Amino acid sequence: MESKSGSLEVITGSMFCGKTDELIRRLRRAAIAKQKIQVFKPKIDNRYAEAKVTSHAGSEFDAVPIEKAADIRASLEADTTVVAVDEVQFLDGEIVAIVNYLADRGLRVIVAGLDTDFRGEPFGPMPTLIAQAEHVDKLHAICMVCGEDASRTQRLVNGKPANYNDPVVIVGAAELYEARCRLHHEVPA
């Protein structure tokens, strides 16, 4: 019997670039192919629905909310062939070992998350996941200032750019964040 090689796919980019929509598109295709899918998301991401990954555009897919990366292994069903994790930047560093373990076992692993935080710096486990993935797709949004391609996430506090020393993790959507290009991304020191 031929064994199938597993893989790690990373979907990344700034907020509002379509990461979750792309994740859901891939999951729907896997479902059409009658593959057994399990989807996870950090409990901290409660913006839209507790037990669903939901895009800003309104697409959704059932998901299991988890506290920490180890919860994926504890929840994994024996016949699962596709594992997806949305907002992976919010999970602890153990996610790297877990997704590699799953891919090594022959599973298709798809993760989506921000590659950089509001400061423009690498976010959580994302740099390692990007480096170890077989496939990486970096999506772009549209800069809310000039309309060009945006690769950065701008956090706003009372309509002004957040200060560099503000907390890195504040869960929010359009009320706190907007997409910006390199030129218009601001992080006051």
Q: What is the pLDDT along the chain (189 residues), one digit of tens a residue?
A: 445 789 999 999 999 999 999 999 999 999 999 999 999 999 987 766 778 888 877 788 899 999 999 999 999 999 999 999 999 999 999 999 999 999 999 999 999 999 999 999 999 999 999 999 999 999 999 999 999 999 999 999 999 999 999 989 887 777 899 999 999 999 998
Cα–Cα separations (whole angstroms), residue 1 to 4, 16, 82, 103: 10, 43, 20, 18
Contact predicate 103/110, CB 8 Å: no
The residue with tokens 């869960």 is 171
pTM of the model: 0.93
From the list 171, 3, 182, 7, the residue with the least C-alpha distance to 99 is 7
Q: What is the CA radius of gyration of the chain?
A: 17
Q: Which helix (H) or strand (E) holds 85?
A: strand 82-85
d(CA 129, CA 136): 9
- Report CA 67 to chain centroid distance, whole Å: 15
How many Cβ atoms are within 10 Å of 151's Cβ, its own excluded? 22
The residue with tokens 């990007």 is 130
For the annotated catalytic residues, the residue numbers are 87
Contact predicate 126/115, CB 8 Å: yes
Domains delineated in the chain: 7-141 (3.40.50.300)
d(CA 66, CA 88): 11
d(CA 52, CA 127): 25
